[in-house]
Amino acid sequence: MPELKDNPFRQRIAQVFSEDGDGHMTLDNFLDMFSVMSEMAPRDLKAYYAFKIYDFNNDDYICAWDLEQTVTKLTRGELSTEEVSLICEKVLDEADGDHDGRLSLEDFQNMILRAPDFLSTFHIRI
Amino acid sequence: MSQSPAFVLNVLETPEDPEGSQEPSPYDESEVHDSFHQLIQEQSRWVAEEGLELQQRQPETGALGASGSDHETMLGPEGAPVYSMATLRILASMPSRTIGRSRGAIISQYYSRTVKLRRRAGRPQLRDMGRSARPSLRLYDLELDSAVLEEEEKRGLLVKELQGLTAAQRDHMLRGMPLSLAEKRGLREESRPPRGKHRAQWHRGLLSCCDQLRDSCVLASHNLGLALLSGLQALMPWHYALKRIGGRFGSSVLSYFLFLKTLLAFNTLLLPPLLAFIVGVQAAFPPAPTGPVPAFTGLELLTGGGYFTHSVMYYGYYSNATLNQPCASPLDGSQCTPEAGSLPYSMPLAYLFTLGAAFFITCITLVYSMSRSFGESYRVGSTSGVHAITVFCSWDYKVTQRWATRLQHDNIRTQLKELLAEWQSRQHRRSACGQLRRVAVLGLVWLLCLGTTLGCTLAVYTFSELMIKQSPVSAEREAVLLLLPLVVCLLNLGGPYLFRILAALERHDSPVLEVYVAICRNLILKMVTLGILCYHWLGRRVGTLKDQCWENFVGQELYRLMVMDFIFTLLDTLLGELVWRLFSEKQLKRKGKPEFDIAGNVLELIYGQTLTWLGVLFSPLLPAMQIIKLLLLFYIKKASLMANCQAPRRPWKASHMSTVFISLLCFPSFLGAAVFLCYAVWQVKPSSTCGPFRTLDTMYEAGKVWVRRLEKAGPRVSWLPWIHRYLVEDTFPIYLVSALLLAVIYLNIQVVKGQRKVICLLKEQISNEGEDKIFLINKLQRVYERKERSRAHEEAARASCGLRG
């Protein structure tokens, strides 16, 4: 699929949208994925799936380890470890509402509400 | 909404603590918040009854234990003790963990949402939320009833609730559900009202019948709209081009091309009324030619004069009489045969009203799209949380090419580094001396830029005065007329480059501010230049061209400006992008291609559109020219972009930028054009030898004359003169409307302030609830530990008794 060939999160996308969770997608899963990533999908739906994509260990929370994985994949490993941990700390400071050290789905959705760009970036044109 | 079940906490089977600890047990403590107390009781009773959750949770708790940092961060910096199995069981079945986990949970969550939607519409009242209410609990409304429903029953309930909604609400609810497409399709099929049930629903009353009719009408029109839209998209030749641009360069460069499309839409909105009511009618009834028509030479395409002067293109061609009249007074002395059923068409009125209506529609459309853009892109409190937004929302999934994704990685890395550097620099406060130096440099650069603008303005003014001295220009030397537009366009081209050089001296903390400052300076230069030109036309030219057609001249000047602007844009693209790329590759041996200057190009587009709006009164075909220009510009810019440029390195919030573009289009550009046109219509005397207003004192008088004639016509249409006298000519209604507008703006500002305060309060509440949760979990853990210890004591005591006995 050319749209996802170079996406750093392509494995996570495949895992999230596949039925058995290990990346093998049926046609229905494929349609689901493009329906969520299309222009017409509502913001909450996109936020829900984005949360699942960034939750690397599938525990329904984005913890510090998940954040580190995300930042590393975003920058292709070119930031130093201190910088990565500093960024994760600041992200948790900003987005963690109940101060339990990780982001729940509500924290994530709350943050997405404040980012009007999300709808245009979390979007694949077919 | 939520009931409060009464149940017993079965942990307290043992009597009070034998060690006599000072800590009260959870059951006795009166400080415990209601919600968590009931929750823990209910959950523990459920767990004691079912006990099945343990199997399902084992791998999860195992995973939790493995990534033990989760629990550790939850309790604080020091390591947490290992929790007992009972505590883990309760933790694992907390409502925040079950949300979104399984299909059953999703279905029940959406069932309760649908119920809430049907029972009340609108935002929940804040006074209904108790102090103890956790916001997420209220939203998700857990199943607090004891009967655990099977998934099938839950699904049935959801379908029933969906049937009770209107079609639009149902579609909206289904679209937002995080279930797979097949399930959503099934739910939609089941919840659609079947045909056989029509008679049963008829009994519910006429109201539901009308409701249904309205729903089916809305649904049918919605489907038709979707079909038309998809058909239109298939017809649109630019859909694939935009996808390629977005894939290679990202959302920010795409916003320029989308803005170009918007401008095309505005011009397409402006043109048809002009064609239908002004140009078409006059072309069907051409006036008698006033003199010999000059031959067509190629120069007309540049100067707009010569052959084009006496054509539909300019104001001077239009007649000031009523066309197609069953004539009572023969104007040109010839015999006229009254034709039956002919419609008299007053050209001056048509000219005035069509232009007025077209501008009004454009204004409404602009304000509507600007407000919608603002609504989408600005949120209360959107300036905070920049790190989180950069990490989660900055990867553009549209980008598909390998080198483009590499560029995105670099951009995001640079952005994060810049954010960290900004934060670190804020930690070390700059010295007072450094601050002063920064302010001084900033002031100096601004002074230089404003000085440059003033210099350009003086140059244009002097040159325009020179051109007045040159006039009248004979037909052979019409090329001299091109000099003023040439000078203006040269200054518009050179000014931004000079500003960019000067801006390299100052160093801003945030790169977004740099962009805004650059846009501001360029905009000031362009608007001031246009202002001088407007003064030159309406102030000076009207005086010097007393007996000639000054409106034609102004129309031709604007035509020349537009053509020169287009030529210079092409030159800029050629030199700035193609030649610069070749030069930097061959001579400087640099790999990087020039960046696509989004701000500069957008300002060019806005400038061109301002010229169109300024000139539409004097040359009704100008929007058609602008449409052709925009179409050509799209293809040329796209080709140059693909071949020569790379995406900008600066972070560009595409949604903010498109809001800024459209508000720039509305405020300096459209407002300026509207002011210019209002002045021209209300204050300037039209020339007496040409045009539809040649016998009047101002163009607006045509309307006044018509209203006077209506007054005399009779009492049947007396409301129109009444409106004209008391609402338009009187100034009081304008003051009233302005006062109302100010009041509405003030109210909105206060509402937003109130919402900000409420957000702060709710955030505090969330963090307090989080602390409460940690406190209660620790308490639970201590209770269980005590229980374990007391049990161990008992067993030890029993064992020792058994040994002795």
pLDDT digits (tens, 9 = 90+) for A38-76: 888 888 889 989 999 999 888 888 889 999 999 999 888
CB contact under 8 A, B69 and A37: no
Q: What is the pLDDT of residue B527?
A: 92
Are B5 and B144 in contact by the 8 Å Cβ rule? The answer is yes
B755's tokens: 């919402």
Distance CA B311, CA B288 (A): 12
Instruction: Answer yes or no: is pLDDT of B144 > 50.
Output: no
Q: What is chain B's length?
A: 805
CB contact under 8 A, B376 and A74: no
Q: How confident is the model at residue B339 (pLDDT cuts 50, 70, 90)?
A: low
Q: Write the ipTM.
A: 0.91
* Cut 0.95: pTM above it: no
**Spatial CA neighbour of B499 closest among B520, B528, B529, B530:** B520
Tell me the C-alpha to C-alpha distance, in Å, between residue B561 and each of B296, B303, B450, B567, B622.
Answer: 21, 9, 24, 10, 12
Instruction: Answer yes or no: is pLDDT of B223 > 70.
Output: yes
Query: Which residues on chain A are in Cβ contact (under 8 Å) with B419?
Result: 87
Instruction: Answer yes or no: is pLDDT of B724 > 90.
Output: no
Sequence letter at residue A98: D
Nearest residue on chain B to A124, judged by CA atoms? Answer: B398
**Spatial CA neighbour of B343 closest among B390, B288, B281, B426:** B281
Distance CA B697, CA B700 (A): 8
Choose the closest CB to A111 out of B99, B389, B653: B389
Instruction: Answer yes or no: is pLDDT of B341 > 90.
Output: no
Instruction: Answer yes or no: is pLDDT of B539 > 50.
Output: yes
Q: What is the pLDDT of residue B580?
A: 81
**Most distant pair of Cα atoms in chain A: their distance:** 42
Pairs across A and B, CB distance < 8 A = 190
Q: How confident is the model at residue B739 (pLDDT cuts 50, 70, 90)?
A: very high
Are B555 and B615 in contact by the 8 Å Cβ rule? The answer is yes
**Spatial CA neighbour of B378 closest among B663, B574, B638:** B663
Report the gap between the CA of A20 and the closest CA in chain B (Å): 13
CB contact under 8 A, A100 and B177: no
Give per-residue pLDDT as tens, A102-111: 888 888 888 8
Look at the block and give the residue holding tokens 């009781």: B41
Instruction: Answer yes or no: is pLDDT of B568 > 90.
Output: yes
**Spatial CA neighbour of A112 closest among A62, A61, A50:** A50
Q: How confident is the model at residue B673 (pLDDT cuts 50, 70, 90)?
A: very high
Instruction: Answer yes or no: is pLDDT of B546 > 80.
Output: no
Q: Which of A61-70, B375-384, B607-616, B705-714 has the highest mean pLDDT?
A: B607-616
Task: Determine which of B70-74, B143-147, B459-463, B617-621 has the lowest per-residue pLDDT on average.
Answer: B70-74
* Omega before residue B95 within 30° of 0, cis: no
**pLDDT: is B193 or B143 the higher one?**
B193
Tell me the C-alpha to C-alpha distance, in Å, between residue B674 and each of B264, B355, B611, B659, B661.
Answer: 19, 11, 12, 21, 18
β-strands B345-346, B322-323 pairing: antiparallel
User: Using the 8-state DSSP alphabet, how is residue B403 labeled?
Assistant: H
Instruction: Answer yes or no: is pLDDT of B51 > 80.
Output: no
Report the gap between the CA of B53 and the closest CA in chain A (Å): 16
CB contact under 8 A, A114 and B382: yes
CB contact under 8 A, B243 and A29: no
**Spatial CA neighbour of A107 closest among B385, B138, B775:** B385
Mean pLDDT of chain B, nearest integer: 76
Instruction: Answer yes or no: is pLDDT of A27 > 70.
Output: yes
CB contact under 8 A, B391 and A57: no
Query: Which residues on chain B are in Cβ contact (under 8 Å) with A94?
Result: 384-388
Are B464 and B484 in contact by the 8 Å Cβ rule? The answer is yes
Chain-centroid distance of CA B531 in Å reads 29
CB contact under 8 A, B382 and A50: no
Are B287 and B375 in contact by the 8 Å Cβ rule? The answer is no
Q: How confident is the model at residue B530 (pLDDT cuts 50, 70, 90)?
A: very high
Q: What is the pLDDT of residue B635?
A: 93
Look at the block and give the residue holding tokens 């916003």: B255
What is the average per-residue pLDDT within B701-730?
79
Instruction: Answer yes or no: is pLDDT of B52 > 60.
Output: no
What is the average per-residue pLDDT within B557-585?
88
CB contact under 8 A, B769 and A100: no
**pLDDT: is B482 or B206 the higher one?**
B482
Sequence letter at residue B207: L
Instruction: Answer yes or no: is pLDDT of B14 > 50.
Output: no
Nearest residue on chain A to B172, judged by CA atoms? Answer: A42
B473's tokens: 């220009």
Q: What is the pLDDT of residue B75?
A: 39
Q: Which of B142, B177, B393, B774 to mutate to test the interface with A (most CBs of A within 10 A)?
A: B393
Q: What is the pLDDT of residue B120?
A: 57
Instruction: Answer yes or no: is pLDDT of B425 > 90.
Output: no
Query: Which residues on chain A are in Cβ contact (under 8 Å) with B135?
Result: 106
The CA angle B131-B133-B139, to the nearest 5 degrees, is 140
Q: What is the pLDDT of residue B56?
A: 40
Distance CA B166, CA B65 (A): 47
Q: How confident is the model at residue B596 (pLDDT cuts 50, 70, 90)?
A: confident
What is the average per-residue pLDDT within B772-779?
87
Distance CA B425, CA B370 (A): 36
Distance CA B484, CA B463 (A): 7
Task: Determine which of B78-87, B401-410, B411-420 has the lowest per-residue pLDDT on average.
Answer: B78-87
A-contacting residues of B 341-380, CB under 8 Å? Answer: 376-379
A-contacting residues of B 690-749, CB under 8 Å? Answer: none
Give chain A's radius of gyration (CA, Å).
15
Choose the closest CB to A121 out of B63, B396, B766: B396
B363's tokens: 């204004």
A-contacting residues of B 77-136, CB under 8 Å? Answer: 96-97, 99-101, 135-136
